[in-house]
Amino acid sequence: MLMKNKLISELKQYLSKSNILETLEERYAYAQDASNSREVVNLPDVVVFVESVEQIQSVVKLANKYKMPVVCRGAGTNVVGACRCEHGGILLNFSKMNRILEINPENMTATVEAGVILGDLQKEVDKIGLFYPPDPSNLAVSTIGGSVAQNSGGAKSFKYGTTKDYVLDMKVVMADGSILRTGSSTIKNSTGYNLNTLFVGSEGTLGIVAEVTLKLIPKPEAKKVFMAYFDTVKDAVLAVNSLIEQRIYPATIDFMDKNAIKTVEEFYPANLLTDKEAALVIEIDGFECSMDYQERIIVGVLSECRASAIQASHNDEEYEKIWKARRSSMGACAKIKPNVTTDDVIVSREKLPELVLGIREICSRYSLKVCMVGHVGDGSVHPQIPIDYSDEDEYSRYKRAKVEIYNLTGQLGGILSGEHGIGADKRDYIDKVVNSVSLDCMRQIKKTFDSNNILNPYKIF
Ligand SMILES: Cc1cc2nc3c(=O)[nH]c(=O)nc-3n(C[C@H](O)[C@H](O)[C@H](O)COP(=O)(O)OP(=O)(O)OC[C@H]3O[C@@H](n4cnc5c(N)ncnc54)[C@H](O)[C@@H]3O)c2cc1C
């Protein structure tokens, strides 16, 4: 307690009073993230809003001096407990470091503070005909710092890749307060180890990201989205291969299973066809003059692949309606029971039907409802399970089903996260898919960067 009080009084030398939250209620408000865990095991000792790199350095130096954990928080929308303060400490809130520092149209780069909202950056670069593709479904609120830390993906990963493909350089505050640069603003870089890829996806455990320089690309001139319905999951997945064989490269090939289709239609009606087993959400983009040509080939291939119905967007309103339906799946699931859990498992695409049908079988055996959506082009599935945490029996069935889902994923050669990260919620299972030598190597890297284990301690492994 004494140490905590000393730390807080020293923090006040560097930060204004309004940027330090100390009361129980305030700290409680920051104890959870979107993983919505059943129990809150601990609260942050103090919540601190930073406004500059220098302030981050001062906070980290104090944390190192008092051996207090520092846990960063963007919007708190990660779904793996990555920014819960399980061991107390300082919660570093980035919502006030939200300036876009530079957009350089000639180099096609943007440099931003870590707290910039991803959707805001997309809108800004869109104004000058540029495009930042990573698009987690909640991009309207999630931050660049959080998406870098989790290596977020989204619907457009199939064609455009994930966050790691766009990070050129970062200004990172290390555990001792020094500043590390992970790269440069050049498009190519073969100058030494690639620190960008080490820090992207490190979940705030190796350093604190203050600023990020991102690669941008030219914005496609036109886009269009299709919903193609199938009577079996297998037909839906096989259709993806057929599309690619025809040299069509959609921006998105997403998936909804019958439970997801029905649940979305029940709570957010969008004229979805609820009698179908599965649907693909396919977005194409490119030059305006190529759209009819792409559409002709896509509709032809989908029909040959036994699509039993196809809906297409003909204007912005219809485009938004289809995407709203796809993005509403978790919100719709949340209306079924008081709580909802989501997951993120990924296999190579050829194994996807086995994974989807296997998850369905597991959930049915444990009497759990599951709505499945995913980025089928990448092989990634998000099983969303509505649940009542106050029902002990249901919670225990859910826990057992979760282990079986991870076992199945491992047996199919898959991994436990393609885009959400590991955080606190999946760390007990990481050894199912990452071998002990790799885990030891990760632990050594952590020690090298953070010998006092103050940066988001005990996350990932
Ligand atoms: C409804 C919903 C839909 C989603 N859809 C997708 C999706 O389609 N694809 C996808 O990939 N994800 C998705 N997610 C997960 C989530 O959006 C991403 O993980 C997101 O990018 C996290 O951003 P955030 O700002 O909320 O980060 P937070 O949750 O605040 O933090 C995430 C992690 O980043 C660390 N962190 C935050 N800022 C910094 C920093 N400056 N320096 C170092 N570490 C930092 C935190 O400590 C934590 O470990 C979804 C989540 C929800 C709730």
Which of 53, 77, 92, 455 is the best mutation target for the ligand 1 pocket, counting ligand atoms within 8 Å of the beta carbon and taking the most? 77
Residues 74-101 have a mean pLDDT of: 97
Which of 53, 98, 139, 142 is the best mutation target for the ligand 1 pocket, counting ligand atoms within 8 Å of the beta carbon and taking the most? 142
> Domain for residue 435, yes or no?
no
Q: Is 142 in the pocket of ligand 1 (CB under 6 A)?
A: yes
Residue 146's pLDDT is 98
In this predicted structure, the answer to whether residue 431 has a pLDDT above a threshold of 70 is yes
Q: Is 136 in the pocket of ligand 1 (CB under 6 A)?
A: yes
> Domain for residue 458, yes or no?
no
Q: How far is Cα 100 from Cα 365, in angstroms, rounded to an integer? A: 49
- The model's confidence at residue 241, banded by pLDDT at 50, 70 and 90, is confident
Q: Whose CA is nearest to atom 44 of ligand 1?
A: 204
What CATH number corresponds to the domain at position 298?
3.30.70.3450
Residues 203-224 have a mean pLDDT of: 98
Looking at the structure of the chain, the number of domains it has is 4
Residue 237's pLDDT is 87
Give the C-alpha distances (Å, rounded to integers) separating 336 from 340, 390, 395, 440.
Answer: 8, 14, 15, 42
Of 280, 295, 330, the last residue of a domain is 330
Residue 121 phi, psi (nearest 5): -65, -45
Shared domain check, 110 and 75: no
Shared domain check, 144 and 112: yes
> Domain for residue 369, yes or no?
yes
Q: Is 147 in the pocket of ligand 1 (CB under 6 A)?
A: yes
> Domain for residue 429, yes or no?
no
pLDDT in tens, 327-382: 899 999 999 999 999 999 999 988 998 999 999 999 999 999 999 999 999 999 99
Shared domain check, 214 and 107: yes
Q: Is 157 in the pocket of ligand 1 (CB under 6 A)?
A: no
DSSP labels, 392-445 = HHHHHHHHHHHHHHHHHHHHTT-BS-SSS--TTTSGGGGGGTS-HHHHHHHHHH
Q: Whose CA is nearest to atom 34 of ligand 1?
A: 146
Beta bridge partners of 47: 21, 91
Of 69, 93, 117, the last residue of a domain is 93
What pTM did the predictor assign?
0.95
Shared domain check, 203 and 109: yes
Q: Is 139 in the pocket of ligand 1 (CB under 6 A)?
A: no
Which of 73, 426, 461 is the best mutation target for the ligand 1 pocket, counting ligand atoms within 8 Å of the beta carbon and taking the most? 73
Shared domain check, 255 and 167: no
Shared domain check, 410 and 346: yes
Of 273, 295, 330, the last residue of a domain is 330
In this predicted structure, the answer to whether residue 244 has a pLDDT above a threshold of 90 is no
Shared domain check, 125 and 64: no
What CATH number corresponds to the domain at position 56?
3.30.43.10
3-state class of 288 per DSSP?
Answer: helix
Which of 95, 120, 138 is the best mutation target for the ligand 1 pocket, counting ligand atoms within 8 Å of the beta carbon and taking the most? 138
Q: Could you tell me which of 292, 303, 293 has the C-alpha nearest to residue 239?
A: 303
Shared domain check, 317 and 212: no
What CATH number corresponds to the domain at position 108?
3.30.465.10
Radius of gyration of the chain from its Cα atoms, rounded to whole angstroms: 22
For 122-137, letters b (16+ CB in 10 Å) and e give bebbeeeebbbbbbbb
Shared domain check, 228 and 323: yes
Q: Is 340 in the pocket of ligand 1 (CB under 6 A)?
A: no
In this predicted structure, the answer to whether residue 245 has a pLDDT above a threshold of 90 is no
- The model's confidence at residue 246, banded by pLDDT at 50, 70 and 90, is confident
Residue 41 Cα, ligand 1 centroid: separation in angstroms? Answer: 21
Atom of ligand 1 nearest to the CA of 207: 43
- Element of type H or E holding 111: strand 109-113
Q: Is 150 in the pocket of ligand 1 (CB under 6 A)?
A: yes
Q: How far is Cα 202 from Cα 450, in angstroms, rounded to an integer? A: 12
In this predicted structure, the answer to whether residue 2 has a pLDDT above a threshold of 80 is no
Residue 204 belongs to domain spanning: 100-218
Burial class (CB in 10 A: 0-12, 13-18, 19+), 115: buried
In this predicted structure, the answer to whether residue 1 has a pLDDT above a threshold of 70 is no
Q: Is 30 in the pocket of ligand 1 (CB under 6 A)?
A: no
| % residues pLDDT > 70 (the chain) | 100
In this predicted structure, the answer to whether residue 261 has a pLDDT above a threshold of 80 is yes
What CATH number corresponds to the domain at position 420?
3.30.70.2740
Shared domain check, 212 and 197: yes
> Domain for residue 82, yes or no?
yes
Q: How far is Cα 368 from Cα 365, in angstroms, rounded to an integer? A: 8
Q: Is 82 in the pocket of ligand 1 (CB under 6 A)?
A: yes
Q: Is 417 in the pocket of ligand 1 (CB under 6 A)?
A: no
Shared domain check, 265 and 190: no
Shared domain check, 121 and 154: yes
Q: Could you tell me which of 170, 171, 168 has the C-alpha nearest to residue 189?
A: 168
Q: Whose CA is nearest to atom 20 of ligand 1?
A: 147
